[in-house]
Structures are given as C-alpha cells and as structure tokens.
Amino acid sequence: MKTIVVGCGRIGAELAYSLFKRGHEVSIVDEFQASFNNLPADFQGRLNEGDALNQDVLTRAGISNCDALAAVTNNDALNAVISHIAKVEFKVPNIIARNYDPHIRALFEAFNIQVVSSTSWGAQRIEELMTDTDVRTVFSAGNGEVEVYELIIPADWDKKKISDLIKCTTCKPVAISRAGRAFLPDMQTELQTGDLLNVAATFDGIEDTRKQLRGLKKEG
C-alpha cells in the first residue's frame, strides 16, 4: 500500500516506521529537515521536506496515486486543511487526521474526515482505568464513543438474565465466553458465574450497566 504521513513528530515518525516495517511504501512530509531525525536509522521510506500546504510538495510525496494519507502534525487547522485537499483535489481513498484540541474536532467533522482525537480518547481511558475496576475495555471504536467492554459475572448474578443487567438502549450484549467457548446471547440468556460478558456501549451506557450490576449485587 502506498501511504503518506504528513508530520514527522513523535506520532508521525512512529506511524511511518510502523507502516514501513509492515511492508508498506511510505512517504513522509515535514516542513523541517531536523524532524526526520525522529525516524529510526533503518527507516527506508521517502523523506519530503517542505510545506504540506504546497501542492507541489504533496505531488512530490506521491499524493496523486497514494492509497492512504495521515495528517498528524501538531496543528489541528493544518491537519484539517491537508486532509480536505487530499480528499477533494486528489481523491485519496483513505484519509485519517489527528485532532489535538477536542474543541476543534467539529472542524474535522464539518469536512467529513475520519479523525483520531488522542486527547479525548486518552482522557476517557485514564478515567476508566482509575474508576472502573470491575469492567475492562477490550475494543474502542472511533474516539471512544462506542467501546466493547468485558464483564466477569460474579456468583451473585448466577441464573439472572441479561435483561436484568442491561436496561438501557445504549448498551448491547455482544458475546458470552463460557468454559472456553463463545456464543451470541440475547436479552433472555441466563448468565452463569464466571461468564465473560462482552457488551458494546457508549460511556453513559456502560455507566448505567455498571450501576445496575452493583445495585443487584447489593440486593443479593
């Protein structure tokens, strides 16, 4: 796959090197020559010094026939504009942009650009790790708006139904792992002690389910 990474800071260099190690053709763009020092010595992609807003620089980087572009500079406005140019002018099929300031995320959404907001996602994950010891996140979609969580069913919940646990519409059962085998449950499935229940939920949805779990455990 032919890829372009715009921005050779810590994230850009790590991304470019990871893509290179996986066998992809990588072209990286940065305004400052010194930024390329962030790359490991064995990186063999193309280095393109210059302003990424200059279409000649993007053309030299191979944007006319690239399969994917990631705009990961530390400037949200620059990432948004570069992504928009790649989408509208060059029809790049797969574009990802880094969002640093969550307050500017609407700019990317207005351009309909796939965005990774490390600040928002990171803050949410840290909060979960600090406060949610009974539930583990196993998959995150988007920027954490929907995640898949794993719950271990305690003895107090043996023989209760999933419908006793999940009461809201923003939390849905995905799978149960029991005795080493997984299956697809429905709301009437009976839980057993030690089940690993995976649910897809928003942050509010898993909070509601967690409160329900704790509440019923107290009642038991």
How is residue 139 written in tokens? Answer: 């998959």
Q: How does the average pLDDT of the chain come out, rounded?
A: 90
pLDDT of residue 220: 46
Q: What topology is assigned to 126-219 in CATH?
A: Alpha-Beta Plaits (3.30.70)
Q: Where are the domains of the chain?
A: 2-118, 126-219
List, edge to edge, every strand of the sheet that includes 25-30.
Answer: 46-49, 25-30, 2-6, 68-71, 94-99, 114-117
Under 8 Å CB-to-CB from 59, ≥6 apart: which residues?
none
Whether 119 has a pLDDT exceeding 70, the answer reads yes
Under 8 Å CB-to-CB from 202, ≥6 apart: which residues?
145, 146, 170, 171
136: left (phi over 0), alpha (psi -120 to 50) or beta: beta
Residue type, 129: L
Phi, psi of 123 (to 5 degrees): -65, -40
Report the C-alpha gap between 220 and 210 in whole angstroms: 15
pLDDT of residue 93: 95
pLDDT of residue 216: 56
Top pLDDT among 220 and 187 is at 187
For residue 94, how far is the Cα from the chain centroid? Answer: 15
CATH pick for 2-118 out of 3.40.190.10, 3.40.50.300, 3.40.50.720, 3.40.605.10:
3.40.50.720
Tens digit of each residue's pLDDT (9 = 90 or more) over 27-44:
999 999 999 999 999 999
pTM above 0.85, yes or no: no
pLDDT of residue 69: 97
Whether 99 has a pLDDT exceeding 80, the answer reads yes
pLDDT of residue 139: 86
Tens digit of each residue's pLDDT (9 = 90 or more) over 139-178:
888 777 899 999 988 888 999 999 999 999 999 999 999 9
pLDDT of residue 126: 78
* pLDDT band, residue 133 (cuts 50/70/90): low
DSSP string, 111-138: TT-EEEEHHHHHHHHHHHHHH-TTEEEE
